[in-house]
Structure 1
Amino acid sequence: MCGINGFNWKDEKLIRRMNEITRHRGPDAAGFYCDDLVSLGNNRLSIIDLDPRANQPMTGEDGRFVIVYNGEIYNFEDIRRELSDYPFKTKSDTEVILAAYEKWGKESFRKLNGMYAFAIWDKKEKELVLARDPVGVKPLLYYFNQKKFIFSSEIKAILLHEDVLREVDPLAVAAFFRILYTPAPLTGFSKIQKLLPGHYISWRGGNITIKKFFQWGAGNAVMSREETLDTVKKLIFKAVKRQLVSDRPLGLYLSGGLDSTTVLHAMSKVTENIETFSVGFRLSNKAEEEKFNQDFLIAKKVAAHYRTNHHAVEITPDDVASSLEEAVAGRDDPISNPTAIPMLFLANFTKKFVTVALSGDGGDELFGGYERYRYAKLAESFQKVAGFAGLITPILGGRAKKLLVKPGIDQFKLFMFQKDTDFDGVFKQRTLLSEDDVVKFFQKNIFENLLWQSGPDMLMRADFESWLPDQALALADTMSMMASLEQRVPLLDLPLAQFLLSIPASRKISFRTNKRLIREAFAKDLPDFLFRQPKRGWFAPGAKWLREPKVLSVVRLILSEGYNSQTGKIFNWPRINVLLDDHMAKRGYHLNLIWAILTFQIWARKYNVSC
């Protein structure tokens, strides 16, 4: 795992500054390459091949190509065998990417199974090529103004360049307050964009070209139930085994849920003395504390069942108060999620023992774990019944709405968008919240390509292509890298993800339960008590934190005009503080809105953005 930086001119001092500001991504080594046309930088977190010869930037055998790279290629040994004629000098996956590019060019990207973002400079053709993995596990940001081309693993490094103005993108702001994250290619800054997963960007002759090199399949696989379950199981075992390759200590984030326990089960078949890690919550209200720690306690039972070396840590309201700004400010584009705090806390704790941590991330999106997928399935079935709307509305009233909304963007909006009524009196400029523009963005970028799919399939694919890379994985990358910890996601291994996306949602979700495939595939393997647990999801007690005195004092400071004068023309602070008082007194539930404003405040102040 590393951080990469670069731009299309020579400036040794500036590339060193970019490396320094992203040093947390790779504290083991730093390097740069400069010639008359480009400057490339890398910070290395050494995981595979600890030999200094594997440091970056790395130059190929004939001197033509130079690479800077962030990530892991899990099938690098297979590709290396295909390149048996290449005179390898290291055992690193970095050199394998370089050798593959020398032989196959951009077609080599299709061979890679891993999480990655890299840049390759071709000295002969004067071409700089950047590529990002198909799932979007690793970030890659860029800026282009027809003259200057700048890229990095993090926006803060791009903002070191004086030419890059800190102008807010109105569409990104509107999207953030509607869905609580910033969807790609938006970043929050009008001139900086994310490279989409499975795409590469080429800078050559002063121009850039962006192309897609990887296409996910359709949900139309035809297999028997037994064949499907057997394939799922085999692919998970292979994925976990591949992702256990490391020359540094390795462990597992154990949440107590089905996904991370499945990963642990697969790990237990190929390795011993497994290190597991989980985080719990301490609250002043002990009844609420027990509620939010159910999965934490189950994780301890799972760890005991598999006899792991389990490490558990609990986060207190004092910890939240002291780390809130640091955790939220860690994101370069705003993501509103209180879970960022325990994620950072757990990453820092885990780093004391290991350098690599596997997790169960991606299981909900691929296996169908979210409750909204079941609603979509119910809606699809009921809408086929003639006169259903007239029958169900008198019985369920407003609750019938979820079952009557048409599949596609309308259904996505119902489940994912914050309601207009939530914003009453909060914003001075309602134009910042244009729902129509956000709807058009998702319709064009996501749903136009999914119209042939069923309602549940569309919803799951939208989550996979937007929510997963731009919210869940983006937050995981940021919090783990702030601790210089590599986080791996075996349930998003390329062959496994390809197979699961080929299976229609109807085979993953039933009216009674979720994640049918993983439940049935491992029914005889995982501990019985795990299957008796309801699906809860791993989330932080953000609403409770807002009622803890020390946390509340920090939040009140942030939610004030004095904290950031730039946002005074956007927010109506008296109204916001009324909502905060209502929430604290349990007269209303305003967590999503309060945390979104808090997140935006911290982000805008950190980057001194022009609102």
Structure 2
Amino acid sequence: MCGISGIIGIQSSAEAGPVLDRMNEAIAHRGPDDSGGVVEAGVALGQRRLSIIDLSCAGHQPMISPDGNLVLIFNGEIYNFLELKQELKEYPFQTQTDTEVILAAYKRWGRECVHHFNGMFAFVLWDKAAGDIFIFRDRLGIKPLYYYQHDNLLLFSSEVRALLSSGYVPRKLNKAALSDYLRYQTVHAPETMVEGVKMLMPGHGIHIKNGAYTFFQYWSPEKNYSREAEGKSYQEIKQNVQQLLLSAVERRLIADVPFGAFLSGGIDSSAIVGLMSQVAKKKVKTFAVTFEEEAFSEAKYAAAIAKKFNTEHTEIRLTPNDFLGLIPAALKAMDHPSGDGPNTYVVSKVTKEAGITMALSGLGGDELFGGYDVFKRMLTLQKNQWVAGLPLAARKLAGQAIHTLKPSVASAKIDELLRLPSWQLNYTYPITRQVLSDAYLQKLTNQSKLEPNRVQQLVAESRQLQALQPHKLPLLSQVSIAEIGTYMQNTLLRDTDQMSMAHALEVRVPFLDYELVEYVLGVPDEHKYPTSPKRLLTESLGDLLPMDIINRPKMGFVLPWQNWLKEEMFSFADQKLNNLGDRSAFNADELKELWSKFRRGDATVTWSRIWYLVVLENWLEENEIE
């Protein structure tokens, strides 16, 4: 696990060298153990290393093949590197690293090597003899890769800040992406908040040769989901899911550093800890951030799981004020604005301080196994498609009446749903995670017409791709793909990467093992229907989890943000919102009215609809974005 940076197209080494140094320094927090760089022939490649496998200096990067022809920089982990190493015995291995296995695999299979890797990664491989450069990002988008292309110049890095530090990237707001952020608290790849800076899409690569850039896709859930579950009994499917999960966890326990697991006491993290206890060669270390206030604390659930699996459990008890005190540092660590990052920052900080360098997380379980309310909601809407066939005027009246009688975020979304031209997934799903309605955003930003809804585009593109396949995906799998391709990849995974790597902590996510994802997406709805919380997951695990964990209320990471923004954080939030209102992209009066409604306790303006605007302004100021 590390950070990588590079420049292609600057012919002068004297010019490229200092630029690469600045980029490398900007991501020093990602790799405190080592740094390196290669600058020659219009190519500059740099890396910061966090040593996880083979801690010796043999793992130094850029890594060069024995014949001097291949140069590699790599961020991530290849979990099946030991099996691949056995298959690639003809290669003269010099290290025990997974990095070197990428070189060996490329030597054997060329660009097709990426299909052989099970892992999380972003890597750049330069084949000097052939004049080829390949850039790859992993299938599910666990590891980031940002780039800036202008004429024949290409800069890339694990973080936006490294690109900005280069001096080549204008610090300008991407106005087209602003609508996306205001709708969804994030910007969906390939766009970012900085004009000209893009994010390589998951499952994609770039081939560079003779100054020409070719972008290609090597994996997608729509094309690569498995049909193995078809025709199998529920019992067989459960056995397959259990084995795939166990293998996913076992693969992710390979490390030469102290490791553990985040444990909230929810289904996903408890399942990971339970499976770890079955395959780990030593006692599992677990970490739970808990709160003294009973309303916010999941301590009793985490403690019960730790006791059941006899883990070495560390309970890190915080008061809300402890958490509050860490928010400024969390905001400073934010590489790209997000409405939901400080939680991960705090958990990562205390875990790293407890001596852990790598931790497993239950991220992805909800998206894959139908753990969110949106899965039930989409099934309900599908069963009631006839409502969308009623006259629009009648639907509008009904929606307006519901929202007027009981003003709230939920009633506002019902009103929006009743105004839709269709209840197909690409119309209904985007509303579920939208923060502010388009009608309101037009007033907030003084725009008569907003940019197209990016989530709607992504879901529509996914459905078009599915339509080209010979077999139709189950509805719940379609919702999973929508969740994975939007909220999970562009909020949860981005936050996990930027906030954990701020502390040089590697986080591994077994639920996103691509073999498990491919299999579960092919499971029919009748085996996943959410009659109980994540039924397929919990029943595949047999009696691994206690029933009080399976049936416990879903809490999430709850904190008193509503009060903080009105009291302890009032001055900070007020200043940031005033500054945001001074920007030409916003209507200052409308922004002040939104802030006023929140302070008055208006049910239609929750804290999250304020906080992400505060985050945006803070990020713009920190990064000097015009």
Q: Equivalents in 2 of 1:553, 1:226: separation in Å? A: 57
Change (3 A) 1:191 1:586: same
C-alpha deviation, 1:81, in angstroms: 0.7
Residues 430 and 456 of structure 2 are in contact (CA less than 8 Å); yes or no, is this contact kept in structure 1?
no
Change (3 A) 1:539 1:186: farther
Partner residue of 1:169?
174
Q: Equivalents in 1 of 2:568, 2:2: separation in Å? A: 36
Question: Is 1:568 aligned with 2:583?
Answer: yes
Partner residue of 2:4?
4
Partner residue of 1:308?
311
SS at match of 2:208: strand
* AA at the equivalent of 2:568: K
Q: Equivalents in 1 of 2:200, 2:441: separation in Å? A: 35
SS at match of 1:107: helix
Question: Is 1:290 aligned with 2:299?
Answer: no
Choose from 550, 557, 573 the match for 1:531. Answer: 550
Choose from 497, 510, 513 the match for 2:532. Answer: 513
Choose from 180, 184, 188 the match for 2:189. Answer: 184
Q: Equivalents in 2 of 1:192, 1:494: separation in Å? A: 28
Cα deviations across residues 63-108 of structure 1 (Å, max 9, x unaligned)?
Answer: 1100000000000011111101111000000000011011111110
**Greater Cα offset, 105-114 or 572-581:** 572-581
Residues 277 and 350 of structure 1 are in contact (CA less than 8 Å); yes or no, is this contact kept in structure 2?
yes
Question: Is 1:19 aligned with 2:20?
Answer: no
Structure 1, unmatched stretches of 5+, are: 283-288
Residues 248 and 513 of structure 2 are in contact (CA less than 8 Å); yes or no, is this contact kept in structure 1?
yes
Cα deviations across residues 148-193 of structure 1 (Å, max 9, x unaligned)?
Answer: 0111001111112333112222221111101111101011122111
Q: Equivalents in 2 of 1:541, 1:422: separation in Å? A: 29
Residues 388 and 423 of structure 2 are in contact (CA less than 8 Å); yes or no, is this contact kept in structure 1?
no
Cα deviations across residues 482-505 of structure 1 (Å, max 9, x unaligned)?
Answer: 010000001111211111122244
Choose from 479, 482, 490 the match for 2:502. Answer: 482
Partner residue of 1:457?
477
Backbone CA RMSD of aligned residues: 2.7
SS at match of 1:365: helix
Cα deviations across residues 285-341 of structure 1 (Å, max 9, x unaligned)?
Answer: xxxx43222x3431122212222222222444434443323323433332112xx22
Residues 579 and 590 of structure 1 are in contact (CA less than 8 Å); yes or no, is this contact kept in structure 2?
no
Choose from 290, 296, 315 the match for 1:280. Answer: 290
Choose from 420, 426, 442 the match for 2:437. Answer: 420
Partner residue of 2:577?
559
SS at match of 1:500: helix
SS at match of 1:517: helix
Residues 146 and 206 of structure 1 are in contact (CA less than 8 Å); yes or no, is this contact kept in structure 2?
no
Change (3 A) 1:469 1:394: closer
Q: Equivalents in 2 of 1:385, 1:569: separation in Å? A: 41
Residues 131 and 199 of structure 1 are in contact (CA less than 8 Å); yes or no, is this contact kept in structure 2?
yes
Choose from 68, 75, 79 the match for 1:74. Answer: 79
Q: Equivalents in 2 of 1:7, 1:554: separation in Å? A: 38
Choose from 448, 470, 475 the match for 2:464. Answer: 448
TM-score normalised by the chain length of structure 1: 0.91
Residues 176 and 182 of structure 1 are in contact (CA less than 8 Å); yes or no, is this contact kept in structure 2?
yes
Aligned residues: 594
Partner residue of 1:285?
none
Residues 475 and 525 of structure 2 are in contact (CA less than 8 Å); yes or no, is this contact kept in structure 1?
no
Question: Is 1:255 aligned with 2:270?
Answer: no
Question: Is 1:543 aligned with 2:562?
Answer: yes
Cα deviations across residues 393-421 of structure 1 (Å, max 9, x unaligned)?
Answer: 98995667669961222111221223437
C-alpha deviation, 1:385, in angstroms: 9.6
* AA at the equivalent of 1:482: A
SS at match of 1:550: coil
Question: Is 1:495 aligned with 2:518?
Answer: no
Change (3 A) 1:299 1:327: same
Change (3 A) 1:415 1:446: same
| Aligned ranges 1:15-164 → 2 under 5 Å | 15-164=20-169
Partner residue of 2:237?
228
Change (3 A) 1:539 1:113: farther
**Greater Cα offset, 239-248 or 449-458:** 449-458
Cα deviations across residues 380-402 of structure 1 (Å, max 9, x unaligned)?
Answer: 223379999999x9899566766
SS at match of 1:460: helix
Q: Equivalents in 2 of 1:387, 1:582: separation in Å? A: 35
Choose from 305, 323, 327 the match for 2:326. Answer: 323
Q: Equivalents in 1 of 2:560, 2:515: separation in Å? A: 35
Structure 2, unmatched stretches of 5+, are: 404-410
Partner residue of 1:429?
446
The percent of aligned pairs where both chains have the same amino acid is 32
* AA at the equivalent of 2:366: D
Question: Is 1:238 aligned with 2:229?
Answer: no
SS at match of 2:169: coil
Partner residue of 1:286?
none
Residues 189 and 199 of structure 2 are in contact (CA less than 8 Å); yes or no, is this contact kept in structure 1?
yes
C-alpha deviation, 1:609, in angstroms: 1.4
TM-score normalised by the chain length of structure 2: 0.89
Change (3 A) 1:131 1:292: same
Q: Equivalents in 1 of 2:479, 2:6: separation in Å? A: 36
Q: Equivalents in 1 of 2:361, 2:499: separation in Å? A: 13
Choose from 426, 450, 467 the match for 1:409. Answer: 426
C-alpha deviation, 1:575, in angstroms: 4.6
Residues 261 and 273 of structure 2 are in contact (CA less than 8 Å); yes or no, is this contact kept in structure 1?
yes
Q: Equivalents in 2 of 1:39, 1:439: separation in Å? A: 35
Q: Equivalents in 2 of 1:386, 1:59: separation in Å? A: 60
C-alpha deviation, 1:364, in angstroms: 0.6
Cα deviations across residues 332-370 of structure 1 (Å, max 9, x unaligned)?
Answer: 332112xx2231111111112210000000001111111
Residues 343 and 557 of structure 2 are in contact (CA less than 8 Å); yes or no, is this contact kept in structure 1?
no
